[in-house]
């Protein structure tokens, strides 16, 4: 009995040891699988939500079937000048995210995102010999067909939102007509009627109706090859010895709706941006005044400046006076726009680009007029030449009051003029700035438009 019991106990211990060994081996074997699964999940997450816009663009490339030698020729030309590529990429930064969003939303190949690089080098003010204009190089007739408004005040062919919408509409229509993106791109450059004729001619000759076989101007064919060369460089920049500056996959600008005619200089002050920043995002405007007629206009500001704009708009409610539309009569020298002030017609002529013949203005002409006579001088200067960097009015970082602003003094400023501009008094400004009456260019003045601490 004793021997039998020992045998049973040994068997049980042996069984337990075997089970323990199997459990340990299973745990060890499963650990790498868990890590691998985690890595795969991370990779999939990166693919779905890349942090760099280039990865997202690469994921949507679809165009194939091109003459490799012809494309290679343009690859060499582009990569021979890396500084040129760097300059274009830097210029594209404000626009890429918006274009990618629109292209993906429509299910188009993301090679289309790179088309402005070939069309205009991402210069929204680029103009060709044929009068094509903007990022997408619309000629007037095509722009008119796709709802791009143009007048002496603005040209929507240069507008980032409107021109991008019109270009993608046009490309989609061309793709529906020809059923091939290569032919659609050729038609975008040469015109759909010309491509149709070439296709018909190719069909009559018994040749395939394809991009490779139809007759195209060398400029048009090379235009498409350039796009594919750029696509190849973006797809594998290291292969070509090119470094693409990282561009975040996130919005660059925000939209602001403007319902009243207003100075561009007022917009730059409210958003605390430079004229150059404004023009990069709003290149459609030809003058220093944004004229609003029946439909509001959409302005773009850097996304981090949208909150600044609306905060400053609240603080500036005393001095932010929109322009009014005035029905001009045929009077000799002045128009009585806002009693008791009269505005000189020569100033209005500068602002509105009115051609006067023998001191006569067209009867019943609608023209924008500032709400205050003293605004005229600055406005006229803005329109006579391209707008220059304005005085930046920003929230003060050194004052406890949340209403405080910092005004940077410019040439010609006086305490009285600054006080009137901001709806304040000279006494108040002196009180907030240690009773200093002497101004110097670049000096910072603390202003508190809504402060109740000092009499007005």
- How many CA atoms does the CB half-sphere of 453 hold within 13 Å? 11
**Two tokens, residue 86:** 């760097």
Task: Judge whether 119 counts as a catalytic residue.
Answer: yes
**CB of 140 within 8 A of CB of 131?**
yes
Residue with tokens 């030449």: 385
Tokens of 342: 């009269």
Instruction: Spell out the SS3 assignment of 189-230.
Output: HHCHHHHHHHHHHHHHCCCCCCCCCCCCCHHHHHHHHHHHHH
CA distance to 267, 328, 405, 419, per residue, from 396 (Å):
19, 42, 5, 17
Tokens read off for 93:
């930064």
Please give the biggest Cα pair distance in the chain: 136
Catalytic residue chosen out of the listed positions 119, 219, 358, 402: 119
Tokens of 17: 């040891």
How many Cβ atoms from other residues are within 10 Å of residue 450's Cβ?
A: 13
Structure tokens at 263: 């100075």
Active site residues: 119
């Amino acid at each position: 009995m004793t021997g039998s019991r020992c045998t049973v106990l040994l068997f049980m211990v042996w069984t337990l040891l075997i089970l323990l060994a199997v459990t340990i081996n299973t745990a060890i074997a499963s650990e790498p699988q868990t890590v691998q699964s985690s890595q795969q999940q991370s990779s999939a997450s990166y693919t779905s939500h890349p942090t760099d816009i280039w990865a997202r663009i690469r994921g949507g490339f679809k165009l194939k079937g091109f003459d490799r030698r012809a494309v290679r020729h343009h690859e060499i030309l582009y990569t021979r000048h890396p500084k040129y590529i760097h300059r274009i990429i830097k210029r594209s930064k404000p626009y890429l995210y918006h274009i990618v969003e629109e292209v993906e939303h429509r299910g188009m190949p993301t090679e289309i995102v790179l088309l402005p690089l070939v069309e205009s080098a991402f210069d929204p003010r680029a103009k060709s010999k044929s009068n094509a204009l903007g990022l997408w190089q619309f000629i007037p007739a095509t722009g008119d067909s796709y709802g791009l408004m143009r007048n002496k005040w603005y040209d929507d062919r240069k507008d980032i939102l409107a021109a991008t919408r019109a270009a993608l509409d046009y490309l989609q229509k061309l793709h529906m007509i020809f059923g091939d993106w290569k032919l659609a791109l050729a038609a975008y450059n040469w015109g759909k009627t010309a491509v149709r004729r070439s296709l018909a001619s190719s069909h009559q000759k018994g040749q395939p109706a394809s991009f490779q076989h139809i007759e195209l101007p060398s400029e048009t064919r090379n235009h498409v090859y350039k796009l594919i060369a750029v696509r190849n460089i973006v797809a594998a920049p290291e292969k070509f010895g090119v470094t693409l500056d990282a561009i975040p996959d996130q919005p660059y600008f925000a939209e602001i709706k403007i319902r009243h005619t207003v100075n561009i200089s007022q917009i730059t002050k409210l958003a605390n941006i430079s004229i150059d920043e404004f023009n990069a995002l709003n290149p459609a405007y030809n003058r220093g005044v944004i004229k609003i007629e029946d439909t509001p206009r959409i302005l773009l500001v850097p996304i981090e400046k949208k909150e600044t704009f609306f905060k400053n708009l609240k603080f500036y409610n005393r001095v932010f006076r929109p322009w009014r539309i005035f029905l001009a009569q045929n009077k000799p020298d002045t128009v009585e726009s806002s009693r008791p002030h009269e505005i000189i017609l020569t100033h209005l002529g500068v602002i509105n680009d009115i051609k006067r013949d023998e001191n006569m203005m067209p009867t019943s002409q609608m023209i924008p007029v500032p709400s205050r006579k003293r605004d005229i001088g600055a406005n006229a200067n803005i329109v006579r030449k391209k707008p220059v960097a304005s005085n930046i009015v920003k929230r003060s970082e050194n004052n406890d009051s949340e209403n405080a602003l910092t005004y940077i003094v410019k040439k010609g400023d006086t305490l009285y003029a600054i006080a009137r501009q901001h709806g304040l008094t000279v006494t108040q400004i002196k009180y907030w700035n240690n009773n200093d009456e002497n101004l110097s260019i670049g000096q910072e003045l603390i202003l508190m438009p809504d402060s109740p601490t000092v009499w007005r």
